[in-house]
Chain A
Amino acid sequence: MKLLTVVVPTYNTEKYIRRCLDSVALEELRSELEVLVVSDGSLDASAEIADEYAARLPDCIKVIRKENGGHGSTINTGLSLATGKYFRVLDSDDWFDIVDFKAYMQRLKTEDADAVICNYRKEFVYESRSEFFSYPKLQDGKTYEFDKFDLDLLQGEYFVMATTAYKTELLKKSGLSLLEKTFYVDMQFNVVPITELCTFTYYDLDVYRYFIGRPDQSMNLTNFVRNQDHHKKMVHWIVDFYTKKSPDLSGNKREYLQAILVYTLNTHYTIYCEYDKDHRRAYREITEFDRYLLETNPTLYDALNTMAYIRYNRKSKFKGVKVSSRLWKKCLQLARIIKHRGN
């Protein structure tokens, strides 16, 4: 059994995939590593480039070609074929830091926790700068029991796709099946496995490099507005999932997942209240969603009242959303400045 399966979802990334595969296709790791490059109907040469690597390390790298079904479908395919003890995702425009990845693999040999967490960086390539994300309060190498550990140690952060490797068995048991042809499926990946998670270990290693620099990236703010239907679909899915599962979850898990949901819902409200320039549509969507949330999960609904802009918008029945966002944005900027001064 291989130690780790790395799934590399690929769609038209011929410009970046070499950088990605170079960081994992390492001779000394070939016996412990399984790399599954899943080409999601790529129209460029990315799958052919992956073939070159597979030919060089056939016992380590496999290329799977499938019809286009979105990011989620590639991870589903990868998970169904994964044979490694642990499972993690590396997008084909991102890469691993080789030195830390080697150390990570070394430590993984003696690991048996359900999940392994480490740090990551966002690489803003044109600005030549990185944003470092870590869990400074967690202890390097320590295994925590999820239901018992102090959530404050996470300092508001949570485990994301870029930081987490789950046991493959756990992922399969959790019934993780990401939505197809939908963006933002990483939210599902961040939420679903937690329901089955018992233990996790933290490695103070900086492995994942998240590339920021492509204009078509779904994390781009303008694309959030363009892809708002995807976001809406995903948020609905997560809210329904959490509402269904929460009665059976431990207190820690419930609190942890609620924090993720509040964060995600905040983004969702922001899309409509701040970024969407089609104010009528934004008003229609957000009033409808707010009603849905109140009916589906009143606890989550109430939790969002901690955010001033949501509270005020609710009081005014979102009428402000109908107004041009320019004025609203100015008010928000001023509010932020005043808040910043207060700190």
Chain B
Amino acid sequence: MKRILVVSWFYPPINSSEGLVTYKLLKNSNLLYDVCTQSSVESWSYGLDNGFPEPDHVRRISLSCSDLESWKDEVVKYFAAHADEYDILMTRSMPPTSHEVGLKIKELKPSIRWIASFGDPIADNPFVLKCFTRTSPFSLKARYETHMSLKQMLSPMRVLRNLLWKRRYAREIKPLKRDRVFQRKVLENCDCVLCNSEQQKEYMLSAYGEQMLQKALVLPHSFDKSLYPPKEESGVSDHTKKRVVYIGSLDDIRTPHSFLVACKELKEQMQDLPEKLEVFFYGSLSDQEKVYILNEELFDFIKIKKPVSYRESLKIMQDADLNLLIDANLHPILDHNIFFAAKLADYMGAGKPICGITMGEGPSAEILSKLCVPALSYSPEEIKNFLYLFVYENKVCSPDPSALAEYDAVKVAKDFDGFVTERL
């Protein structure tokens, strides 16, 4: 079999979730790969980790470039020179530029079998949609939400402002339309769509009909046991307090606010909480939440730490008493979640207790239920109850070992190999 060309801007040593997902899949696969990535990461803040084992069957092709656009051209140029060497192409969606490369390559060699991998949907991404304000603050509808005097209602200034708002809004949503067209073009031209959950597959493809759904392969995120430090290196937990850990970046949409409110309320009821619990957030946190931690004086047991490298994060997960997952609340855009956070798979590999704050339905809720660990809602009251049980009643929430096998990178890669060999 010929080698598979993988187009991925992110790939280790860069510390990026997308690159690491690709790496785990390729490392455990039995097929041969060439990964077109980039050699300069100066403009990116992800950091480097040079300690990843380099498997023999994966060859890295680092193309020097100044930005994404020039990288795109370099990859196409590279392919044009080596077109005969590849029958299968895989492009990774973060950033979507990889798929632009895919379209160009498919034009150059229509017979190539193209696997387009989507970490998240590019078009109508609910996470992005949630950022948009839908109702103009100057529209007449706004009077149901905020006070609007009769004078304001009749004011021509309000009408003018409303028109200007709409113009600006239209400019903002233009890229969304462009993304929709682009994603459709990719989906129509590729031979296989790689998704990480059934929910993502449904969300992205169901509108295009059965034929498109047939193209999809659902490959869940996975953990690679060999990447975790040996137990003696990670050390036995010597902390006296229960340690809750969240690893990854948080923002205004994927927010720990409910969790922080729960901590605050439990602390009010149980004054000894800081002596029994410590919470670590590794990664970025919105300023609003940092201020909340300060204002509510939660800093005695909630700590914010700098982002850590992937392998360091695995060690931290192994040392934690509870690994916390926080998903974005997509309501009111969607009533269910469609995202499967890669960190959940890594939490599973760490073998330590897990708890998730997520929507009632979606990949995370499904997986957490399979693992028999708590999937909490965004209600601070529910989270508070859980924390009480965890801290004071020693509630056990270790994942069911029998449910972990499905997310082992070796098994996932085997499924992928089987699909490629039989279907492409």
A joins B in a complex: yes
A99 lies within 8 A of B269 (CB): yes
Among A15, A26, A98, A130, find the residue whose CB has the most chain B CB atoms closer than 10 A.
A98
- CB of A106, distance to nearest CB on chain B (Å): 14
| In-complex Cβ contact of B374 among A18, A121, A214 (8 A) | A18
B393 lies within 8 A of A333 (CB): no
A337 lies within 8 A of B143 (CB): yes
Q: Please tell me if A127 contacts chain B, counting CB pairs below 8 Å.
A: yes
- CB of B144, distance to nearest CB on chain A (Å): 7
Instruction: Report the Cα distance A315→B378, complex, angstroms.
Output: 47
Contact size range, A: 20 to 34
Q: Please tell me if B126 contacts chain A, counting CB pairs below 8 Å.
A: no
A15 lies within 8 A of B360 (CB): yes
Instruction: Report the Cα distance A12→B94, complex, angstroms.
Output: 39
Q: Please tell me if A213 contacts chain B, counting CB pairs below 8 Å.
A: yes
**Contact A209:B381 (CB < 8 A) given known A26-B393, A128-B258, A337-B143:** yes
Query: Which residues from A are CB-within-8-Å of B388?
Result: 98-99
Within 8 A of A (CB), among B375-393: 375-382, 384-386, 388-389, 393
Query: Which residues from A are CB-within-8-Å of B329?
Result: 126, 128
**Contact A127:B331 (CB < 8 A) given known A26-B393, A337-B143:** yes
Within 8 A of A (CB), among B403-420: none
**Contact A15:B385 (CB < 8 A) given known A130-B379, A213-B360, A213-B377:** no
| In-complex Cβ contact of A22 among B144, B335, B395 (8 A) | B395
Instruction: Report the Cα distance A127→B335, complex, angstroms.
Output: 11
Instruction: Report the Cα distance A86→B265, complex, angstroms.
Output: 29
- CB of A107, distance to nearest CB on chain B (Å): 16
**Contact A95:B382 (CB < 8 A) given known A128-B258, A213-B360:** yes
A123 lies within 8 A of B331 (CB): no
Q: Please tell me if B359 contacts chain A, counting CB pairs below 8 Å.
A: yes
Query: Which residues from A are CB-within-8-Å of B57?
Result: none
- CB of B260, distance to nearest CB on chain A (Å): 11
Instruction: Report the Cα distance A128→B331, complex, angstroms.
Output: 10
Q: How does the 8 Å CB contact mask read for B205-241 relative to A, with 1 for contact and 0 for none? A: 0000000000000000000000000000000000000
Q: Please tell me if B152 contacts chain A, counting CB pairs below 8 Å.
A: no
Q: Please tell me if A186 contacts chain B, counting CB pairs below 8 Å.
A: no
B385 lies within 8 A of A22 (CB): yes
Q: How does the 8 Å CB contact mask read for A325-338 relative to B, with 1 for contact and 0 for none? A: 00000000100010
Q: Which applies to chain A's interface (DSSP): helix, strand, loop or mixed?
A: mixed
Query: Which residues from B are CB-within-8-Å of A125?
Result: 360, 377-379, 382
Instruction: Report the Cα distance A15→B364, complex, angstroms.
Output: 13
Instruction: Report the Cα distance A337→B270, complex, angstroms.
Output: 44
Instruction: Report the Cα distance A98→B365, complex, angstroms.
Output: 23
Name the CB-closest residue of A to B266.
A99
Name the CB-closest residue of B to A49.
B372
Name the CB-closest residue of B to A26.
B393
Q: Please tell me if A97 contacts chain B, counting CB pairs below 8 Å.
A: yes
A128 lies within 8 A of B381 (CB): no
Within 8 A of B (CB), among A1-42: 15, 18-19, 22-23, 26-27
Q: Please tell me if B257 contacts chain A, counting CB pairs below 8 Å.
A: yes
Instruction: Report the Cα distance A215→B335, complex, angstroms.
Output: 9
Q: How does the 8 Å CB contact mask read for B311-344 relative to A, with 1 for contact and 0 for none? A: 0000000000000000001011001000000000
- CB of A313, distance to nearest CB on chain B (Å): 24
Query: Which residues from B are CB-within-8-Å of A23?
Result: 385
- CB of A340, distance to nearest CB on chain B (Å): 9
Name the CB-closest residue of A to B380.
A128
- CB of B397, distance to nearest CB on chain A (Å): 10
Instruction: Report the Cα distance A252→B139, complex, angstroms.
Output: 49
Within 8 A of B (CB), among A93-141: 95, 97-99, 121, 123-128, 130
Q: Please tell me if B369 contacts chain A, counting CB pairs below 8 Å.
A: yes
- CB of B395, distance to nearest CB on chain A (Å): 7
| In-complex Cβ contact of A128 among B143, B144, B269, B379 (8 A) | B379
Instruction: Report the Cα distance A200→B377, complex, angstroms.
Output: 34
Instruction: Report the Cα distance A19→B388, complex, angstroms.
Output: 12
Query: Which residues from B are CB-within-8-Å of A123?
Result: 377, 379, 381-382
Instruction: Report the Cα distance A95→B385, complex, angstroms.
Output: 9
**Contact A22:B378 (CB < 8 A) given known A99-B269, A99-B270, A333-B144:** no
- List 13 other contacts, CB 8 Å, given A19-B376, A99-B388, A123-B379: A15-B369, A22-B385, A22-B389, A98-B385, A98-B388, A99-B266, A123-B381, A128-B329, A128-B378, A128-B380, A130-B381, A211-B379, A214-B360
- Residues of chain B touching chain A, judged by Cβ–Cβ distance below 8 Å, are 143-144, 257-258, 266, 269-270, 329, 331-332, 335, 359-360, 365, 369, 374-382, 384-386, 388-389, 393, 395
Q: Give 5 CB contacts A-B under 8 Å.
A: A22-B389, A26-B393, A95-B382, A128-B329, A214-B360
